[in-house]
Amino acid sequence: MSFKSLGLSDALLKAVSEKGYTTPSPIQEKAIPEVLKGRDVLASAQTGTGKTAGFTLPMLHILSQKPTQGKPKIKALVLTPTRELAAQIYDNIREYSKYIDVRSTVIFGGVNQNPQVRTIRQGVDILVATPGRLLDLENQGLLSLSNIEFLVLDEADRMLDMGFIHDIKKVLKMIPVKRQNLLFSATFNKDIKKFASSILTNPVLVEATPENTTAEKVDQKTYRVDKSRKTEMLTKFIKEGNWDQVLVFTRTKHGANRLSQKLEKAGISSAAIHGNKTQNARVKALAGFKSGKVRVLVATDIAARGLDIPLLPYVINYELPNVPEDYVHRIGRTGRAGASGQAISLVGVDEVDYVRGIEKLLGEKLHSEVLEGFQPTDTIEQLKAQAAENKAKHQQGRRKTRAKREGGNGSQEGREKRNNRNRNRR
Ligand code: AMP
């Protein structure tokens, strides 16, 4: 099938061809004609399937067919969970709309709102936004959502995971009831199905990959290993395999920072990307990774969500996620666009239950290995004792710091301050 046969205008086809796309991806083949017909669409698609063009191209086609008189009003709203995803979608829209008269912009939090407000004032047809900043500007009366004809919810499952449900409900009250809705999600559990049915009207179902299964081209392996030896194992894989573009997932922001520092010490260029990093730091880390300057990008689930990293050969789960769906998201970043990829999970004795959860979701067993020289010896009891010891040390450290701040442990003044604080707490 060709893009031409999907019913898109010549101006859009020209932009698509300049992007180097020759044939539509499966999700584009299925979704574009339905959106053009005016149908609501419920799509099951991960990043890497071409879903962005799947909803933006037909939307741009429809909007360009009815040019506005005067200053454009916001007619399409694309909601996404993260700033990175918002910026990426906006970049795509800008490229696809090169030869048509449709204006767009993007807004997200963490940066100065004034430039965003100025662009909106000049008039835009499409607004790509994260929920928080959108509500913020609407509440300040700086934008109006009363002319919305299209609502797109991208990565809807992640928006729910991140607790955006209340924000989205507020947005729904601000936009006209009569509109076309498109909802994209990588996974479909009970919550997301319920959420989708509350928003969509008689939707067409479109699937890029069968529900809750992973891309066939991803080779998935798990290695049982002691917690304290994971960095050593990862370093060995990277160095001996000459891996030069590796995305590594950790469960926490601190974990991401720590691992990135350890890799740097081992002579492997690395950057961490997580929610505590500024927007600039995240953009810089991602750019370094894409250009090859940064060999390993260590990310938390939320930060990595929706990042467009084409043809990624290796995804490593340094720690497994406790939500099985996150595993599907993570490994959805490899084996993309026809290339094969490897997803490797380092599994500590305390993560075996997570593997079971993932296998249940996938409906298949994951291949498990022990690497020579890395025979695991940890037991759950040992890890629990270690965790309790660490916690006690941490608390002791905090007590000492507090005592020091309050004028020395045991001083009259310190004791008084502590007593006062305890009284106030009660
Ligand atoms: P997405 O799933 O929307 O994040 O897209 C993933 C990547 O595939 C992006 O880099 C797109 O530019 C690219 N892409 C989208 N559609 C096509 C297509 N039909 N042919 C080739 N590449 C595409």
- Predicted confidence (pLDDT) per residue in 55-91, tens digit: 999 999 999 998 778 899 999 999 999 888 899 999 9
DSSP state of 206: E
Work out the burial of residue 135: count CB atoms within 10 Å of its CB; fewer than 13 is exposed, 13-18 middle, 19 or more buried.
middle
What is the enclosing helix (H) or strand (E) of 347?
A: strand 341-347
Q: Which residues are within 8 A (CB) of 365 and not within 5 positions of it... i.e. 6 or more apart?
A: 359
Give the separation between CA 68 and CA 312, rounded to whole angstroms: 41
The C-alpha R_g of the chain, in whole angstroms, comes to 24
For ligand 1, atom 8, name the residue with the nearest CA.
50
Indicate the length of the chain as a whole number.
426
Whole-structure pTM value = 0.63
pLDDT band at 262 (very low <50, low <70, confident <90, very high): very high
Write out the two tokens for 77: 């709203």
Q: Which residues are within 8 A (CB) of 394 and not within 5 positions of it... i.e. 6 or more apart?
A: none
307 backbone dihedrals φ, ψ, rounded to 5°: -65, 135
The reply to whether ligand 1 has any atom less than 6 angstroms from the CB of 25 is yes
Q: How much is the pLDDT for 129?
A: 98
CA distances for 350 relative to 288, 325, 371, 379, 382, angstroms: 34, 19, 18, 8, 10
**Model pLDDT for residues 317-366, shown as the tens digit of each residue:** 999 998 888 898 888 777 654 556 899 999 999 999 999 999 988 888 99
CA angle 233, 234, 235 (to 5 degrees): 90
Write out the two tokens for 199: 């928003």
Query: Cα(121) to centroid of ligand 1, in Å?
Result: 31
**Among the atoms of ligand 1, which is closest to the Cα of residue 20?**
21
Give the separation between CA 133 and CA 113, rounded to whole angstroms: 8
Given a contact cutoff of 8 angstroms between Cβ atoms, the answer to whether 216 and 185 are in contact is no
Res. 27: pLDDT tops 50: yes
pLDDT band at 384 (very low <50, low <70, confident <90, very high): confident
Give the separation between CA 52 and CA 237, rounded to whole angstroms: 33
Write out the two tokens for 140: 């300040």
To test the pocket of ligand 1, the residue of 52, 59, 60, 329 to mutate (highest count of ligand atoms within 8 Å of its CB) is: 52
For ligand 1, atom 19, name the residue with the nearest CA.
24
Give the separation between CA 77 and CA 153, rounded to whole angstroms: 8
65 closest CA partner among 104, 101, 39 = 101
Question: What three-state secondary structure class fits 137?
Answer: helix
The reply to whether ligand 1 has any atom less than 6 angstroms from the CB of 61 is no
Q: Which residues are within 8 A (CB) of 385 and not within 5 positions of it... i.e. 6 or more apart?
A: none
Mean pLDDT of 202-211: 75
Strands (E), 199-325: 204-207, 218-224, 246-249, 270-273, 296-299, 314-317
Give the separation between CA 62 and CA 39, rounded to whole angstroms: 12
pLDDT band at 212 (very low <50, low <70, confident <90, very high): very low
**Among the atoms of ligand 1, which is closest to the Cα of residue 25?**
19
CA neighbours closer than 13 Å in the CB half-sphere of residue 75: 16
- Judged by average pLDDT, the poorest of 282-286, 293-297, 300-304, 422-426 is 422-426
pLDDT band at 211 (very low <50, low <70, confident <90, very high): very low
Query: Cα(204) to centroid of ligand 1, in Å?
Result: 22
